[in-house]
Structure 1
Amino acid sequence: MSEEHINKIISFYNKYSVFRLNELLPIIIKHLEFELKKNDIPARVAGRVKNPVSLKEKLLNWSNNPKKKANISSPETTLKLVGDLCAVRVMTYTELDRSKVQNLVEKMFKSPDGTKNFGAEVKEVSDLRIKDDIENHYRATHMQICLKDEHIRKEENKPLTLDSCELQITSMLSHVWNEIEHDTKYKTKTGQLSKEEKLAINSLGLLTQTGDHIIRSLLSARDIRHKKEDDSKQIEDDLFINENELSDFLQNHFGEKIGPAKINYSQGNGSLLKVLEAIDWNHPKDIKTHFSPKILIDARARTNRIKSAQKREGRIKSLIKTDSCDIFFVAICIIDFDKAKMAIEHTQSKHRLSVILKAFVDP
């Protein structure tokens, strides 16, 4: 096949294909990036439209290859056989996610007409140059994809659904190894690598496997940290923000009575909230954990005894209120007296609570 004919194909490519493929490429990348993020698959996406110079080199190589020479015919037919005119690479953080991306892609796009199952090819399995060479560490899945009609908004862009795009799915580390290995071989004058170069490239390949395990461990540790941070944020969001919120929760959780008598949860709720904040019990789960029905009934009985003692002493000020949130402060005294004592320093009712605390010791 003459170079003149190949030049005609390149001219046709420049005139009728390049602009269309440059419209196709960003649409594919946009949809991939959106779905990868939506499905929590950490990866990077890159793509390119084949340079005319690179295309010419490929066609010249075909013309010199007896098995490929027959692929060169009319411009349109020839270009349909070049699978990587538009090419996108998805680089996952780990090897483990490669199959996840493939499954996702099969749902997102359609297989080109005449191509079964997206022409999916796991290179380390199907390519004997890789499969039979234990020192070849390239790991990738190659596919051919087409846009679906739903990806196109404007009617005039519908022809883009007829163009196929090569998709390479590989891990970042495998991609780095492949680029270095390719460039090292490409830049040799003889096409043969030295023993030292081969050893270094193989060592780098083995390190990519170790690196993959490290990245997986890192991502796992990151997920655990994020979960802890989210849980901590949720707890922070659920803290009682004011005394009215505390009163509403106490009313809903314990009901209108503790024991035989009604409780006014709005009375003394401000002081109680300060106490709970001081001892870090100001979350609904803390209330549920620490204030059992038995504790509160015991606290109510103790509150009644304190009130009786105060009356016998003729006390008028700082009287304990048996139908108020004072019961919860007495309950804290029962649960952990030292916490109750410490909490007094952080409230605006120091004198009153100090009197109750003293009365608790000897009611």
Structure 2
Amino acid sequence: MSQKIRKRVPENPNSPRYSDPLDQITDLAGVRVITYFLNTVQEVELVISEEFDVIERIDKSEAFEKDQRLGYQSLHLLVKLKGNRCALPEYARFTGLTAEIQVRTILQHAWAEIEHDIQYKAVYTLPSETKRRFMALAGALEIADREFQAIAKTDRKLRDAALKSVAEDRLSGVEITPEALKAYLDKRYGADGRMSDYSYTYTVRLLKALGFTDLNELSDFLNGYDHDRISRALYGSRQGQLTRFEDALMVAAGREFLNRHPWGNRAGNEWFANSIEHRLKTAEEAGFSVGNGRLPNRQDDSGKG
């Protein structure tokens, strides 16, 4: 802030830019909000407009040429607390305070910080070659921002379509993802609020190691294996959702489950192999058809039949 106060008028280096800094500088108090996506900038602006009185809105991308900045895009809002907020004792002392809120994407933020660091602010101070490269990079960053937004939109659309397919029992072609797997297991095995997002992510990695690619393939593989009965046979009680699911996989796959499991062939994991062997033996003694399911061919097994 002290550097800003000491700034001079470009046309007259002997004249300070701010004759009354405390009154003229509007960002004595401020905050910066950094988002991942472009549309979130608009969402944040909407929230700000609902919570504060916006007295000035400056879109730096619209002032691109006027400010002679290269690639600098950011939304700047000058705000004051609303009257109902200032009426509260804890906020009364901020009555009349003007603050600045900057909202930008993470790519816009990276650009602004780098530009500020190397002090390439004005177009006319740059060599032509440097200027061209800055302009090209500015365009690339803008394209990247838009592409990230498009990717996020497409990803959400695909996720929603997958969840709808699971709800309607149309599992063919539904890729196994943590979100889709949770929806599938919640419907088939009952919801279990104790399970974390990481638990489903780990289970997806296990399924991919076993060779599964879509939910229909997985559902067919487990057909005929009662997860509740298997759980009670192995433990004497009904276990949690993912434990029942993994044990049903294990019983259906038999010893091949251990061969393909990420922990199966690691040195020092004999305890894990012994645990699998013990549960498989218990399942066999309980009358389950162990190993009747045929695991899908993995990519590195292609051509082996």
TM range (shorter): 0.3 to 0.5
Larger CA Rg, structure 1 vs 2: 1
Structure 1 length-normalised TM: 0.41
Structure 2 length-normalised TM: 0.48
